[in-house]
A and B are shown apart, each in its own frame.
Chain A
Amino acid sequence: MKRFDVIEHTADTGIVAYGADLKEAFANAAYAMFSLMADLECVEEKVCRQIEVEADDRESLVVSWLNELLYLLDVERIVFRRFNVVELSDTSLKAEGWGERLDATRHNLKSGIKAATYHMLRVAKDSRQHSIRVIFDV
């Protein structure tokens, strides 16, 4: 199954991430975000972080989750490449993320993402799969 699509947005970049369940869609949204910033094929799984976020509703949870990962990228310099969403409700998420410290010489870094925004944010489900649409400020 396709993990995500990139969508066009003039000033910024967006993605639609897919999953057989919502947990998988959340994991794929995070994977999509990091794949916009680095070549994840070159990133190894050397460190693991437990991540917990809360929000008012499911859409806000997407923004909180992705912005938490951007915070970890800035502060701990971790580029994540794999995610396992362990617990998920409408207002909270527990996950594990694997990756390694950012290395400009190996990771083929692209433009950074400033933030995940609430603009055009959508969490949806059709007969086949769950999807999450989010626009990033690049």
Chain B
Amino acid sequence: MARWEGPLNKIGEYRWEIPKSYKQGMRVPGLIYASEEMLGSIREEQAADQVANVAFLPGIVGRSLAMPDIHWGYGFPIGGVAATRVDDGVVSPGGVGYDINCGVRLLRTNLHESEVRPRLEKLLSELFINVPSGLGSTGKIRVGKREMEEILTQGARWAVKRGFGAKEDLEVSEEEGCLKGADPDKVSTRAKERGTPQSGTLGSGNHFIEVEVVREIYEPAAAGVMGIDEVGQVLLLIHTGSRGLGHQVCDDYVRTLRDAMRRYDIEVPDRELACAPVQSPEGRDYMAAMACAANYAWANRQCIAHWARECFVRVFGKSLRDIGLEMVYDVAHNIAKVESYEVEGRKLKLCVHRKGATRAFPVGHPDVPSKYKQIGQPVLIPGDMGRYSFVAVGTEGAIRESFGSVCHGAGRTKSRHAARKGVRDADVAMELASRGILAKAASRGGLAEEASEAYKDVAEVVEVCHRAGLCRKVLKTYPMGVIKG
């Protein structure tokens, strides 16, 4: 792939601007958050060009943004954030992606590493058996037509009602696990058919369940509010999304909006940027269908968390109360949300597209759960399975300049195919084991594709966001055991 030779002008620490003059048709400049050292690898692919393409979207305000975990996607770059005016701007399904509300959920435990280590293998086997994972895996829940509608409108609330988890889980989830405005009639029958057998499944690709241990705490007070008090404490991280249902919703609406674009006389430089005015019938329909898929994903993570809790209870022979396993938070990192921001002195209602980016609201923001009002919204940033992950909190800086958004992970540097070449799963598993990390994968090639070498160092990504003032690091974890889908 050709190197990207476009302009990146330094406009501040960790801030690189792509001027509007780079391409005719850009309505706003682009802005990439990165360290000087990261620029080389960013230029190796066409992700920066995608930042510029996103700037073509009608109604876009501020800048077309990319977080330091930026990498080459389709349409939008991964790590892309774009806010468009709800009044006269567009919504683009490509700014959300095929895996609508792909996201991360973190649970804390009362267990110490020393208690978990001896039973880690047993725990992983239990998780592997009890959480369906891998290509074509089907859920343990039988869902009828009416129940599917409930999943789509109620999200995680439906799961709690069915006995999967507790009401308290909902209080510490983005949108309380249920995005408003969901209308199941806007979701095609085909999407529902794909979603029905897959409710409560992890899927494959980069989806995982990780048992991890706290390695470093930077802000003890904030960590304490999250129920995390000491180095050595064990946590559980779940990463999955809306499965075939979300993929079909995206595919359906990319097609619908492509037709609609002609009617609204909109031109964009990439087919995956198909879009329609937020207020048009097509735009509204997409928002209503996207909310359904987001809710499906929240229900999915809620069910998986419940089964994971059951596994812990069985393996450690203690009550759930003794083990802890309370939810810290649940974030969506592929989503479009209507939020209000001040732009050039005016309060505007915006449609914020986060494509591989996490919401990061600060202290006192009305959408931060009361538990976290004093510290800000927890931001969950998983790294690759061989290194570490981070928990941060949102800041005013994110509200001021990145539409309340921050990075979502490490960001790939190597394609799956390249990562797999000459690397065997067994070798990856052995190398991880030598560092105390047990890994199990449902898919062949799954471990090789996700090996650390295929990713940027998430520590560098988080450091840039922290120093740029978009979030504050709270703690760092180290993986102990990983189930790969």
Contact = CB atoms under 8 A, between A and B. Distances in A.
A110 B136 contact: no
Interface string B50-76: 000000000000000000000111110
A11 B97 contact: no
B interface, size bucket: 35 or more
Given A104-B134, A111-B446, A137 B74 contact: yes
Nearest to B203: A112
Contacts of A37: 135
A9 interface: yes
Given A8-B417, A137-B99, 4 more contacts: A8-B415, A67-B251, A114-B205, A138-B416
B389 interface: no
Contacts of A70: 244, 247
Interface stretch (A43-51, A91-99, A117-125): A117-125
Contacts of A56: 258-259
A13 B247 contact: no
A111 B441 CA distance: 10
Contacts of B203: 112
7 contacts: A11-B72, A11-B415, A13-B415, A71-B248, A110-B445, A112-B204, A119-B271
A89 interface: no
B395 interface: no
A88 interface: no
A111 B78 contact: no
B45 interface: yes
Contacts of B485: 111
Contacts of A8: 1, 415, 417-418
Contacts of A112: 134-136, 203-205, 443
B128 interface: no
Nearest to A73: B136
B414 interface: yes
Interface string B367-384: 000000000000000000
Interface of A: 6-13, 37-39, 56, 59-60, 63, 67, 70-71, 73-75, 77, 102, 104, 108-112, 114-115, 117-121, 135, 137-138
B39 to A, nearest CB: 16
Residue of B250, B270, B442, B443 with most chain A CB atoms under a 10 A cut-off: B443
Contact of A10 (B137, B259, B270, B413): B413
Contact of B194 (A6, A38, A74): A74
Nearest to A71: B190
Contacts of A67: 251
A48 to B, nearest CB: 19
A75 B194 contact: yes
B190 A109 contact: no
B239 to A, nearest CB: 14
A59 B258 CA distance: 13
Given A10-B415, A12-B74, A114 B98 contact: yes
Interface in B236-268: 244, 247-248, 250-251, 254-255, 258-259
A108 B98 contact: no
A137 B73 CA distance: 9
Contacts of A73: 136
A17 to B, nearest CB: 15
B87 interface: no
B272 interface: yes
Contact of A115 (B134, B250, B274, B446): B250
Interface string B177-218: 000000000000010011001100001110000000000000
B287 to A, nearest CB: 20
B251 A10 contact: no
